[in-house]
Amino acid sequence: MIIYNVTINVDDSIHDEWISWMQQTHIPEVLATGKFLKALMSEVLVKEDLGGVTYSIQYTCESEDMLLQYYQEDAPRLRNDVFKRFGNKFGAFRTEMKIVKEFFK
């Protein structure tokens, strides 16, 4: 399993609109590509010097090949949608992680 993590710092001026759009539109659209099994949205509790609020969205997919398909077939369009709507009012970086083992209580 692979986790595709997107960490996003959102300017306060768009925060409420952004979080609503992410939850109601963007994350469901990413999941609708069929490339991911689930998504987890978390607020990062460490405050950034640059201000705003930081979130981590973790999308889980079955394989690196599936993530590569997402990059090739879907990511450009979906990333463009975010930039069209919110311009330069956010900053994002992406991390790919391989799940080694899950532990449960």
Q: Which CATH number do you get for residue 36?
A: 3.30.70.100
Residue 75: domain span: 2-98
Please report whether residue 64 resides in a domain: yes
Contact assessment for residue 58 and residue 40, using Cβ atoms and an 8 Å cutoff: yes
CA distance 35 to 37: 7
Please report whether residue 105 resides in a domain: no
Please check the confidence at residue 50 and state whether its pLDDT lies above 80.
no
Amino acid, res. 86: F
What pLDDT digit, counting tens, does each position of 9-39 carry? 999 999 999 999 999 999 999 999 999 999 9
How confident is residue 46, by pLDDT bands cut at 50, 70 and 90?
confident
What's the total number of domains in the chain?
1
In whole angstroms, how far apart are CA 34 and each of 1, 24, 38, 73?
A: 15, 17, 10, 11
- Please count the other Cβ atoms lying within 10 Å of the Cβ belonging to residue 30: 20
Please report whether residue 28 resides in a domain: yes
Which pLDDT score is estimated for 47? Answer: 78
